[in-house]
């Protein structure tokens, strides 16, 4: 395992143009929609994120392999696990869907039980509610509606909605309680609409009738989650102007909310002829509680940035962080403690306490097999002489060019 030693020397003025990879969230949805359309829908500007590469390979192998029984191993790709659970349930064949050891600890029961409720044949191969799962398809539909909780991973809901038009009776989702990560559901429905699939969304019910996909090209936008690390860099630099080509002001991605959030952190966003430009400005923090339930993938970036700026901010909407690649709340608590910052929880409100904030000359940050831990902490090299990040290859999951792009902006990266 190679560690990354990250440092930044000079006057901390950053001028760079960074072309980001395609959005993993958009691309993985586009790949499933394309596979369900049996070639009617094409995908352009493919992401090079490891999760997307994995899903693309699996879908290609499934299209070429007529074997009746097949083991499908997603490794650590959580999106692939969830989307393929529904995809394989609707497909003819027998499948053992499995993944890495961490993947076997991440729940799949809510999605599997929803699919079983409408007729899917799914058995837990080891532990109830968790991968690996045995799937025998195609789903023989016994109901055209299912109830599912709203405060769960949006990927469960998106997985069901994407296969809905291919089901003999279509599907109505009755969502119970408040819908978490609403922008990701909207992204799914907008992409289905681009592929010719109509739906009705009334209150907490989303209905999709059985229908054919139309010929379409889904062009994947660059990844706003990846852009968030550049917003953090701009907030921590003395002065920065960073060009991010091809990002759209009106985006399907919920993580585009980083534009609004980072205004308080002193980063302004301007549309350009080719994309957007971000620039340092004056900071103006408020006392309001920051709700991140619609954009949980931004949480690590924002919390780390606020911590090193010494801001005792409050956050809500972090519940889903505990079932991600790692328990992200615990990981943040462990690593922020190394600079004297605590992140405490009281009735689902998380508070930073930066009273004992200090910057050692050298710090080693554990990454917990989590790409977002590495990328959220790398920018603090603007304030700490050397930041050592465990397992530099972990960024391959969503942003393989991260270290190269940091070097373009003036950071020094050494393997250790």
Host H or E run for residue 43: strand 41-44
Indicate the pTM of the whole model: 0.83
Q: For Cα atoms 324, 327, 328, give the angle at the middle one, nearest 5 degrees.
A: 80
Length of the chain in residues, anyone? 416
- C-beta of residue 178 within 8 angstroms of C-beta of residue 187: no
Q: Where do the structural domains in the chain lie, given as residue ranges?
A: 4-21+222-415, 24-219
Query: Rg of the chain over CA atoms, in angstroms?
Result: 21
282 burial (CB, 10 Å; 0-12 / 13-18 / 19+) is exposed
Active site residues: 297
| Range 345-350, long-range pairs (CB < 8 A, 24+ positions) | 348/316, 348/318, 348/319, 349/289, 349/314, 349/315, 349/316, 350/303, 350/314, 350/315, 350/316, 350/318
User: pLDDT 10s digit of each residue in the chain, 416 long?
Assistant: 899 999 998 889 999 999 998 999 999 999 999 999 999 999 998 999 999 999 999 999 998 876 666 999 999 999 999 999 999 999 999 999 999 998 999 999 999 999 999 999 999 999 999 999 999 999 999 999 999 998 888 999 999 999 999 999 999 999 998 887 788 999 999 999 999 999 999 999 999 999 999 999 999 999 999 999 999 999 999 999 999 999 987 888 989 999 999 999 999 999 999 999 999 999 999 889 999 988 989 999 999 999 999 999 999 988 878 777 789 999 999 999 999 999 999 999 999 999 999 999 999 999 999 999 999 999 999 999 999 999 999 999 999 999 999 999 999 999 98
Tokens standing for residue 211? 């229908």
Per-residue model confidence (pLDDT) at position 359 = 97
- C-beta of residue 236 within 8 angstroms of C-beta of residue 379: yes
Q: How far apart are CA 138 and CA 161, in angstroms?
A: 16
CATH 3.65.10.10 for domain 4-21+222-415, yes or no, is yes
End-to-end Cα spacing for the chain: 9
CATH 3.65.10.10 for domain 24-219, yes or no, is yes
Per-residue model confidence (pLDDT) at position 287 = 86
Q: Does residue 358 sit in helix, strand or coil?
A: coil
């Amino acid at each position: 395992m190679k560690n990354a030693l990250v440092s930044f020397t000079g006057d901390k003025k950053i001028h760079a143009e960074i072309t980001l990879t395609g959005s993993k969230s958009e691309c993985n949805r586009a790949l499933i929609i394309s596979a369900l359309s049996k070639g009617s829908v094409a995908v352009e500007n493919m992401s090079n994120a490891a999760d997307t590469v994995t899903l693309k390979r699996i879908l290609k192998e499934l299209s070429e392999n007529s074997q009746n029984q097949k083991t499908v191993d997603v490794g650590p790709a959580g999106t692939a696990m969830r989307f393929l659970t529904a995809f394989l349930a609707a497909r003819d064949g027998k499948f053992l869907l499995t993944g890495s050891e961490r993947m076997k600890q991440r729940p799949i029961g809510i999605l599997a039980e929803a699919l079983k409720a409408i007729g899917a044949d799914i058995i837990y191969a080891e532990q109830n509610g968790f991968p690996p799962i045995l799937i025998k398809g195609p789903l023989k539909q016994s109901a055209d509606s299912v109830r599912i909780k709203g405060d769960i991973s949006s990927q469960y809901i998106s997985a069901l909605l994407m296969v809905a038009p291919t089901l003999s009776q279509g599907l109505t989702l009755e969502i119970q309680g408040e819908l978490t990560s609403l922008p990701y559901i909207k992204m799914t429905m907008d992409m289905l609409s681009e592929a010719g699939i109509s739906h009705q969304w009334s209150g907490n019910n989303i209905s999709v009738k059985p229908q054919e996909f139309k010929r379409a090209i889904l062009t994947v936008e660059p990844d706003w989650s990846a852009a968030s690390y550049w917003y953090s860099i701009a907030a921590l630099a003395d002065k920065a102007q960073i060009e991010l080509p091809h990002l759209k002001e009106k985006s399907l991605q919920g993580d585009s909310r980083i534009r609004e959030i980072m205004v308080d952190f002193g980063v302004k966003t301007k549309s350009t002829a080719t994309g957007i430009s971000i620039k340092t400005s004056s900071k103006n923090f408020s006392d309001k509680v920051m709700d991140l339930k619609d954009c949980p993938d931004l949480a690590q970036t924002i919390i780390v940035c606020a911590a090193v700026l010494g801001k005792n901010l409050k956050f809500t909407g972090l519940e889903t962080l505990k079932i991600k690649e790692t328990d992200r709340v615990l990981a943040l608590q462990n690593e922020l403690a190394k600079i004297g910052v605590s992140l405490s929880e009281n009735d689902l409100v998380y508070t930073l306490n930066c009273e004992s904030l200090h910057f050692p000359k050298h710090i080693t940050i554990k990454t917990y097999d989590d790409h977002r831990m590495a990328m959220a902490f790398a920018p603090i090299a603007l304030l700490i002489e050397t930041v050592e990040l465990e397992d530099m290859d972990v960024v391959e999951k969503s942003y393989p060019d991260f270290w190269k792009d940091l070097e373009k902006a003036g950071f020094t990266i050494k393997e250790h």
